[in-house]
Structure 1
Amino acid sequence: MPPYPRSEERRSMVDLQIESRGIRNPKILAAMREVPRHLFVPSPYDRDAYADAPLPIGNGQTISQPYIVALMTEFIRPAPTDTVLEIGAGSGYQSAILSMLVRKVITIERIETVAALARANLAAVYADNVEIVIGDGTLGYPPGAPYDGIIITAATPEIPGPLKEQLAEGGRLVAPVGDRILQELVVLERHGDRFTEEHHGGVRFVPLIGEYGWEEE
């Protein structure tokens, strides 16, 4: 990935918003210093791309707060040989970060115009190990399974069964679980047919729409 403008803002973002809050994985920190978040945020919000906040990207969707992106990435413990499934491509930023850390990323997006935005943004940063699939993310993507990590980037009332089934042995899944207003960040780890569960505090995401999520309003 070539050098991009606003590198000082990225360094400050990582130092003040991410590393200072306990994210220690050096590869995640390096990826977030390198990936130009402002390219994934539409105008006029791109001026605030490195702020400590989620931002709108259109179609009722948002790009997550930088710290939350780093935290969810750290929770799945990405490794260079991994295949990771992301539910909710958004503008492509989470996939771009993952693309620097794992072998392959598959991201599912239900809104075609949002998928097109993600595709253009990922091409602009040469993230050629990311595959975008249009469909119902709550069903996962069986052709790419099993997945070493799964990140759900929208609020779900519970972890969709198909996604648990597609998680590899020892794989980790992170998701915001709760109602449409407030959720808790939950991490699952698979051990055969058993799943251990961790809880990591309150978050707020847009709702996950699909067969195993919420109905569209």
Structure 2
Amino acid sequence: MDFAIARRRMVEKHIKGRGVNDPLVLQAMLEVPRHLFVEEALQSQAYGDYPLPIGNKQTISQPYMVAYMTEALQLKGGENVLEIGTGSGYQAAVLARIAGKVFTVERIPELARRARRILDRIGAINVNIKVTDGTIGWEEQAPFDAIIVTAGAPAVPEKYLAQLAPGGRLVIPVGDMYSQVLKRFIKQADGQVTEESLLGCRFVPLVGRNGWREEGD
């Protein structure tokens, strides 16, 4: 399988073809080899527009959603970005092509280790990974110009808004455990926060102190 051709087809049909037009995002999606972020047995499906399992009851998001959420962050290049939910590392890799520094938090050590190996392999040296409760953010590296959350939250953790820089954007799915609305929050210079709803979506639950409780807790 020619992955480069499959990747170009994915961008043209499923991303640009569905309305994502930011040239920085389109270029990042063209450059990042999504097939490396899934198991070898699934690599032939890597450029289809759907999520795929990555183990530990987690998934790699569909390419369109990755591109849409990245565009929603309104990045211009060189920003300090926080990602909640490293997962496979694919979203972080896309962000790394645009942002100056990416700080990404993952609660499952096995996923964090695997993501680190792949990110190192593709040269994403501006990505920093921390294993911790993602619902508390990463206070030591704040403030952030943008925060992206790749799991569904029951409500917006106050920690995220507190860690946003003035003018910063937070993109997060909010709802119940089975369906959410993707929302964007923008922190104004005076500290006030504006909110807008972008589209319906479905993500795995955001588990942690300020999110959903893990099964069995």
The TM-score with structure 2 as length reference comes to 0.96
Q: Could you list the runs of 4 or more consecutive aligned residues of structure 1 that deviate by over 3 angstroms after TM superposition?
A: none
User: Given the alignment, which residue of 174, 177, 181 partners 1:180?
Assistant: 177
Residue type matched to 1:29 in 2?
A: L
Corresponding position of 1:6: 3
Deviations 1:26-73 (A, max 9, x none): 111011011100000113222100001000000111000000000000
Gaps of 5+ in 1: none
Q: How many residue pairs were aligned?
A: 213
In structure 2, distance between residues paired with 1:119 and 1:185 = 27
- After superposition, the CA RMSD in angstroms is 0.8
User: Given the alignment, which residue of 13, 18, 21 partners 1:24?
Assistant: 21
Moved more, 186-195 or 10-19: 186-195
The aligned runs of 1:62-211 (5 Å cut-off) are 62-191=59-188, 192-211=190-209
Residue type matched to 1:208 in 2?
A: L
Gaps of 5+ in 2: none
Moved more, 37-46 or 68-77: 37-46
Residue type matched to 1:210 in 2?
A: G
In structure 2, distance between residues paired with 1:42 and 1:189 = 36
User: Given the alignment, which residue of 34, 39, 43 partners 1:37?
Assistant: 34
Pairwise CA distance, 1:81: 2.3
Pairwise CA distance, 1:193: 2.4
Identical pairs, percent: 50
Residue type matched to 1:68 in 2?
A: M
SS at match of 2:105: strand
In structure 1, distance between residues paired with 2:107 and 2:181 = 23
In structure 2, distance between residues paired with 1:203 and 1:121 = 27
Corresponding position of 1:212: 210
